[in-house]
Amino acid sequence: MDYLIVCSAALLVAGLTFFAGFGLGTLLMPVFAIFFPVEVAIAATAMVHLANNFFKVLLVGRHANQRVVLLFAIPGAVAAVLGAMMLGFFAESGPLVSYELWGRLYNVTPVKLLIAMVIGVFAVIELLPFGQHLAFGPRFIPLGGLLSGFLGGLSGHQGALRSAFLVRAGLEKKALVGTMVVSAVVVDMARLVVYGATFMHHDSAMLTDQNMLGLVAAGSLAAFVGSFVGARLLHKMTLGALHKIITVMLILLAAAMALGVV
């Protein structure tokens, strides 16, 4: 049953989130959290996320804008290491608000609320008239990498901020998707190193006792299928539609995080 749950979630989420450039980690992490502690679930999700992004690089990476990747991903990787190193500290901090709904406990943590506010700001900008003409020049791209990388290392939600910045970098459709994918691989590799050193050293028994590697491998293969289907549909997607998908997902994610749902 655990394999069925993880694979089904990975397949559906990878296909649905291919265009937005984020959401796989956000939606898959709670599934892994059913079987593992939160810290280990984040690391396991990062493995599937990285494997899937490598596959997406094969599909659309050739369209990436190399200059934007360098400006965005290098600062993002450095910041991701710092964020991942702080994950252990914030994992022990208590929630700001806790509430029960339909028999389930939800916690609103400081990190979730902060990220929800940042993502919400970008979503609102996208909805306002001037947001349609807003573009981030080269000097702002490294800032986006730093912010999304740090918050991604801290919580696993770097994809939303990455998309929020890069969607206004003046890239055409295929270049936008390719740039987001290549940037994600660089940042994921950086934070996985820290996750491995910090958590797997202390929870190495989880790899065999709860069959985590098997779930990660199965989830990765299922995500490959979802991403492949998404890539086949990319040519039918317009840039305007892509922006709308990203905006809607930013709003949904910000609301879910502010309420402690994810």
Please give, one letter per residue, the 3-state secondary structure of the chain: CHHHHHHHHHHHHHHHHCCCCCCHHHHHHHHHCCCCCHHHHHHHHHHHHHHHHHHHHHHHHHHCCHHHHHHHHHHHHHHHHHHHHHHHHHHCCCCCEEEEECCEEEEECHHHHHHHHHHHHHHHHHHCHHHHHCCCCCCCHHHHHHHHHHHHHHHCCHHHHHHHHHCCCCCCHHHHHHHHHHHHHHHHHHHHHHHHHHHHCCCCCHHHHCCHHHHHHHHHHHHHHHHHHHHHHHHHCCHHHHHHHHHHHHHHHHHHHHCCCC
User: Looking at residues 45-67, what average pLDDT do you find?
Assistant: 86
Q: Give the residue numbers spanning the domain of 160.
A: 2-258
Asked whether the whole model's pTM tops 0.75, one would answer no
Asked whether the beta carbons of 84 and 198 are under 8 A apart, the reply is yes
| Total domains present in the chain | 1
Strand partners, 98: 107
- The answer, yes or no, to whether residue 55 has pLDDT greater than 80, is yes
How high is the pLDDT of residue 1? 74
How high is the pLDDT of residue 80? 82
Distance, CA of 175 to CA of 60 (rounded, Å): 8
**For the chain, percent of residues with pLDDT exceeding 90:** 5
How high is the pLDDT of residue 75? 92
> Sorting pLDDT into bands at 50, 70 and 90, what band is 133?
low
- The answer, yes or no, to whether residue 208 has pLDDT greater than 60, is no
| Residue-wise pLDDT tens digits, 11-40 | 888 887 777 777 777 778 778 877 777 667
Q: Give the Cβ contact number of residue 233 at 10 Å.
A: 11
Rg, Å, the chain Cα set: 17
Give the CB-side neighbour count of residue 171, counting CA atoms within 13 A: 26
**For the chain, percent of residues with pLDDT exceeding 70:** 82
